Chain A
Amino acid sequence: MIRIMQAEKLRECLANLNNVVIRYEMGRLDFSKLALDWLSKAETQLREERRPEATEILTARTNVISSIDRSKEEGKHGTARRRAEAIAAIDAICVAETLLRKRLLTLEDEIDAYEDKLVEAVTGLTVLGHLPSMAGVGRNFWAQQVWSALETQEATRPTAIWLSTALAVPDRMFLLDRVLQRVRSSQLPIIVAARGPESAN
């Protein structure tokens, strides 16, 4: 799976956690159900990435379900039942949050490392005067031209080969686009001169 998309999905999942916890604070009776839905999404997310941590979330989710069943069997009502279910749900949410966050931070570190490599290579092109001009070409075509230059220039070829074996094409082009975005907006004279005037396309 594409790293950038993985990271984005994890980020969304963690951002949604706030809405789930707010339901608990509001004393909503559907809190446990919402927590279970969130846990299920978190588990699916890690399972899609074939991460072993998905099993830990499954176990945590199972604990919530069994706690709900136990409360029913024991004939708990009102506050006591709500409290028992909330304890199990929040425990499970904490476990899942830790796993998702660690996974996301690992992915972000990896993405940063690849981006640093790409920055090094594009710096090489810029300093040596081999950065293709963006004059008269569209954004995507320019990105492709820059990638071709990275692959063909002697100084940047090893990095380009390494990046193309380590990253899927969408990841590589996404990161290159992010770096080129800074090339477009930089005010440094060397970069302004290297990029040429922007295309009207």
Chain B
Amino acid sequence: MTQQQGPLSRLVAVEQAIGAAKQPSISDTLNHREQWLRSTSKHLYDMGVMEASMVVTTLAEVQLSMGGDLSYLEDGRNWPYQQRVAAAWTLQTQVLECLTIASNRLSMRVEHFEKIAESAIRAGAEAKLLASPGTLPRQVWLQAMADRMSRHQNCVQQVTSLALALSEPELMSLFDRTFKRVFEI
């Protein structure tokens, strides 16, 4: 049975892929871009992001539309430069669409957890449970805040349900995101 990563890790993987896909260098050839997409789609599959299969079919479609007879693979260097650039850009645009669909879907799931985390943190703040990180390492501070919140009646339910829904690293990552986004801490 495939061991899927949690929603936050998957979203981070997709966001990283989007970031990298948006930054092609001038020397980026079509073949180079394809190799990168191939390894990215494999990584996304392994993470459990099934939109990776869209990336694979998009690759095939673009290859077909640009050559079809695979001439660019057999004799890629003879392909006109402009045509190779156009193919690379078509590929990039379509793959970005696929990744954006994945990102939107995963964001909805993450937002669901973020709302619960936000409600716990707000309840924790009202109960004066929270302290600033000071000189503590971020992870230690996050763990300490989660522990404090899990002991207070106003936020125990939210924190416990998050701990049962997410793995320990994902839980800390969620609190990290929520503290930064909502409280800018």
Please report A residues at the B interface, Cβ cutoff 8 Å: 8, 11-12, 14-15, 17-18, 21, 24-25, 27, 79, 82-83, 86-87, 90, 93-94, 97, 100-101, 104-105, 108, 112, 115-116, 119-120, 122-123, 126-127, 179, 182-183, 185-191
B69 touches A82 (CB 8 A): yes
**Smallest CB-CB separation from B165: which chain A residue?**
A119
A190 touches B151 (CB 8 A): yes
Residues of A within 8 A of B61 (CB): 90, 94
> Once bound together, how far apart are the Cα atoms of A87 and B52, in whole Å?
21
Q: Dominant SS at the A interface?
A: helix
> Once bound together, how far apart are the Cα atoms of A127 and B38, in whole Å?
46
Residues of A within 8 A of B160 (CB): 123, 126-127, 188, 190-191
B94–chain A nearest beta-carbon distance, Å: 12
A188 touches B166 (CB 8 A): no
Residues of A within 8 A of B83 (CB): none
Q: Which of A14, A27, A182 contacts B164 (CB 8 A)?
A: A182
**Smallest CB-CB separation from B74: which chain A residue?**
A27
Residues of A within 8 A of B105 (CB): 105
User: Is B59 positioned at the interface, with any CB of A under 8 Å from its CB?
Assistant: yes
A14 touches B50 (CB 8 A): yes
> Once bound together, how far apart are the Cα atoms of A105 and B105, in whole Å?
10
B53, B61, B70, B165 — which one has the most chain A CB atoms within 10 A of its CB?
B53
A90 touches B60 (CB 8 A): yes
